[in-house]
Structure 1
């Protein structure tokens, strides 16, 4: 089973793709929209990544989910399982290839700070960025179990970094990058 797409060198078009997609989706969130952020590896200049644009949407609350889901379907998105209470997930594939992932979190959700902190750490620390890139490429090369295996093997590295940079309640671990 393959990954959702192949890791490739950083593409300076990724921020432009985020901006374009951000414009397309913004109307589906109405008055509940607080803000959006480009997250994930495509948001980190110089980092090789699966060319899947990750977007974090912060909302005041989850209002009228039926209308939002319908709007997102018109843009080619499928609603995945909730990743946790208050953390909704959408994915968009084109011709069987994942192109976009959207995380919709209620303001104050723990994953917001976690996703932004991880992105910012990768942006500012070249050593961490290189280590993470090397890990991703190694996991891709050795992958036999698909995206679930890939994510499960990245999780300990991400969790260790985040435990050093964020205060996480004892005994609680989470994964930033999840695909459903």
Structure 2
């Protein structure tokens, strides 16, 4: 598989296997990262029933204290995860691949404010509002056709929808509105 194919945007129908895959990976990560992990959640589109998604399991892990990336790199060194970057302050991002294809994303955040993070609010709002799941699925399929080899363009195309849903979720919970690209 070429590097270009590696990053193709591939949206597939929802699979109930995704939650089982998360459960397996959660147990592995708890064994590797204990005692650092305070909470671990299945996030991203694969965590939302009936949501079409890229078949990559997103995992959000809260740690008591966010340590230097090198500590997590060392702990995860034999697990298939590699450090990708921070992208935003106050987090670490790792990816796992199998046969040259990404299978998991691991986001590590500090515990403080973890359950008020936009990623979890977005997931929970879509789980509670299936009509948004349908809209989001249509948008994702359209964007995947427009940006098949441009993951950044695909992500930018989702921003307005994600912002609208996060605003609704934050308003519903009495939280201040935040730009989805700022943590």
1:134 corresponds to 2:132: no
2:180 counterpart residue number: 174
How far, CA to CA, are the matches of 1:6 and 1:145 in structure 2? 9
Shift of the 119–11 alpha-carbon distance from structure 1 to 2, 3 Å rule, reads same
Paired residue secondary structure (2:117): helix
> Unaligned 5+ residue runs, structure 2?
none
The offset of 1:69, in angstroms, is 0.6
> Unaligned 5+ residue runs, structure 1?
none
How far, CA to CA, are the matches of 2:17 and 2:148 in structure 1? 30
2:96 counterpart residue number: 92
1:106 counterpart residue number: 110
Shift of the 98–164 alpha-carbon distance from structure 1 to 2, 3 Å rule, reads same
1:10-66: CA deviation from partner (whole Å, max 9, x where unpaired): 111111100111111113322221110001111111111111000000111123643
TM-score by length of 1: 0.87
How far, CA to CA, are the matches of 2:50 and 2:17 in structure 1? 12
TM-score by length of 2: 0.85
1:33 counterpart residue number: 37
How far, CA to CA, are the matches of 1:34 and 1:81 in structure 2? 21
How far, CA to CA, are the matches of 2:12 and 2:100 in structure 1? 18
Out of 2, 5, 14, the residue aligned to residue 10 of structure 1 is 14
Query: Could you say what the CA RMSD is over the residues aligned between the two structures, in angstroms?
Result: 2.1
